């Protein structure tokens, strides 16, 4: 989560098994991922997926940074709490 190389494009590339050897630029890879999301989920669905991913990453990063500042260990319960908060936010009416 704290790795600057930890992008949505990198995650999708790794999970799909398409690890390029002479890889495209990050910008080209992100465009490919976004185009794939749009074709699978539609424009609004792709936006929702990306926003959800960024929110999850932000909440986890924030929790990890707080733990690091207090020199304490991240526990399974900490991670579960973050995901429960995210689920609760998703269920609330907008």
Number of domains in the chain: 1
Nearest C-alpha neighbor of 8 from the set 57, 41, 68: 57
Q: pLDDT tens digits, residue range 38-60?
A: 999 999 999 999 999 999 999 99
* Residue 79 placed within a domain: yes
- The confidence score (pLDDT) of residue 20 equals 55
* Residue 62 placed within a domain: yes
**pTM for this predicted structure:** 0.65
Domain extent for 23: 8-91
* Residue 66 placed within a domain: yes
Q: pLDDT tens digits, residue range 54-77?
A: 999 999 999 999 999 999 999 999
Instruction: Tell me: pLDDT of 24 over 80.
Output: no
End-to-end CA gap in the chain? 27
Average pLDDT, the chain: 85
- The confidence score (pLDDT) of residue 91 equals 78
3, 28, 44, 61, 67 from 10: Cα distances, Å: 11, 12, 22, 17, 26
* Residue 38 placed within a domain: yes
Nearest C-alpha neighbor of 33 from the set 44, 55, 18: 18
* Residue 40 placed within a domain: yes
């Amino acid at each position: 989560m704290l790795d600057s190389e930890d992008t949505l494009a990198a995650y999708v590339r790794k999970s799909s098994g398409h690890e390029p050897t002479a890889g495209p630029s990050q910008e080209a890879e992100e465009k490919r991922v976004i185009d794939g999301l749009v074709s699978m989920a539609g424009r609004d669905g792709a936006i929702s997926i990306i926003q959800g991913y960024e929110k999850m990453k932000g909440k986890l990063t924030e929790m990890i940074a707080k733990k690091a500042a207090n020199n304490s260990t991240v526990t399974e319960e900490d991670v579960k709490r973050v995901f429960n908060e995210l689920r609760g936010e998703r269920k609330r009416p907008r």
